[in-house]
Copies of this chain bind each other. A is one copy, B any other.
Amino acid sequence: MDQIQNRPQIVVAGAGFGGMEAVRALARAPVDITIIDQHNHHTFQPLLYQVATAALSSPDIAWPIRSILRHQENARVVMAEVTGIDIAERIVRAGPIEVAYDFLVLATGATHSYFGHDEWAEAAPGLKSVDDALEIRRRILLAFEHAEIADNPAKRQRLLTFVIVGGGPTGVEMAGAIAEIAQHTLRSDFRRIDPGAARIVLVEAGPRILPTFPERLSAYAQQSLERMGVEVKTDSLVTDCRKDGVVLKNGGIDSETIIWAAGVKASPAAQWIGAKTDRAGRIKVGPHLEVPGHPEIFAVGDTAVLADPDAPQIPGIAPAAKQMGKYVGRLIAARAAGREMPKPFTYRHFLDLATVGRKSAVVRRGRLQLTGYLGWWFWGIAHIYFLIGVRNRFVVALNWFWSYVTFQRGARVIAER
């Protein structure tokens, strides 16, 4: 590639929250940045479940990386998949091109983990990308369509049963949203089936949902879901996912729509550089988020874990990835200017947030705990605030207002491809 090689060359792999913050933190540094992503868009992952449940369109929460960075002249965007890294030559290979680096930031995020059962992926897709969300939307909407024309009662019941595996925030949000679709959005739309009779089951292997929240909030979320008609099954380890249902340690559920929200594992970034990882595949990084033995390589977000076993754990959420990305961007800017960054990275935890459904969410900030309507407003305002761009904030707010008033969902399009 044609580059002026006399300025430090920075390569950022991945345009999620961590990667984008790293690039922005370098906006005024005398460096050349190449950010590489397999997609053309940055995705606001916290609202992906709303695309999956037809409340928002994908362009409402996904923006072209180029467009975000168009005025940052030291950054160029390459849409390609990283295929390998030569750490001796300091070269990243991505599709047809090779990019040399002086500093490398690995921010390629995480993907679903099926705990060694990758064959479950076909039956139980997870929710990490816009494509995942559109696939899940397609499956949910098609299940109702197919139930309407199914003559076999067992098949109809299977089509009207939705199983969400994993009781973390994503699982709770998905279960609540599907319950709303069934009971409100589709209420008058079918003639043979009653969408309100759909069975929605949230399955969690541990003793309670939202395990990272205080017990009181877990209990509140479970009660809210149950009031919405969701069955919550805790202590229920999944032992098989098939096209026609899930098998649990303690029973089984016939269902043609299974959604996986149970586990994540890091992207293969560690393999590219032969780094040490934890069991989830995250690269073990030093106190400055650097890869041990490679002070020129950093890992952030879901790709990284602090190597120090005594360091407080950093959760796999957007604000954590952003803090890590920003820290690394500043560190590289300092180094490029000949200064060292003395202080190790410290994570500041602001909030735990999960929404359960219409008018209900749980929020924890330090000792403050919010539930119900107040929590829901807090959740909504926080998410609108962090959306990129005036237009998207406005469109998302408008869609939410419209859905709230009418119980309708604006994006009920099944696309085939």
- Complex Cα–Cα for A151 and B63 (A): 26
Tally of this chain's copies: 2
A57 — which chain B residues lie within 8 A by C-beta?
Answer: 57-60, 411
| Interface hits, A286-320 → B, CB 8 Å | none
Q: Across the interface, name the chain B residue whose C-beta is closest to A392.
A: B410
Q: Across the interface, name the chain B residue whose C-beta is closest to A416.
A: B131
Contact of A415 (CB < 8 Å), options: B80, B131, B188, B410: B131
A80 — which chain B residues lie within 8 A by C-beta?
Answer: 149
- Complex Cα–Cα for A63 and B54 (A): 12
* Contact, CB under 8 Å: B413 / A41: yes
Mask for A380-409, Cβ within 8 A of B = 1, else 0?
Answer: 000000000001001100100010001010
- Complex Cα–Cα for A149 and B188 (A): 51
A238 — which chain B residues lie within 8 A by C-beta?
Answer: none
Assess whether A135 is interfacial by the CB under 8 Å rule. yes
- Complex Cα–Cα for A106 and B97 (A): 52
A78-B149, A95-B149 given; A64·B412 CB < 8 A: yes
- Complex Cα–Cα for A203 and B222 (A): 61
A66 — which chain B residues lie within 8 A by C-beta?
Answer: 186, 189-190
Assess whether A96 is interfacial by the CB under 8 Å rule. yes
Assess whether A134 is interfacial by the CB under 8 Å rule. yes
Assess whether A139 is interfacial by the CB under 8 Å rule. no
Mask for A74-90, Cβ within 8 A of B = 1, else 0?
Answer: 00111110000000000
A142 — which chain B residues lie within 8 A by C-beta?
Answer: 40, 79
* Contact, CB under 8 Å: A70 / B134: no
A134 — which chain B residues lie within 8 A by C-beta?
Answer: 415, 417
Rounded to whole Å, the gap between the CB of A156 and the closest CB of chain B is 12
Assess whether A278 is interfacial by the CB under 8 Å rule. no
Assess whether A39 is interfacial by the CB under 8 Å rule. yes
Assess whether A348 is interfacial by the CB under 8 Å rule. no
* Contact, CB under 8 Å: A413 / B189: no
Contact of A395 (CB < 8 Å), options: B1, B39, B77, B395: B395
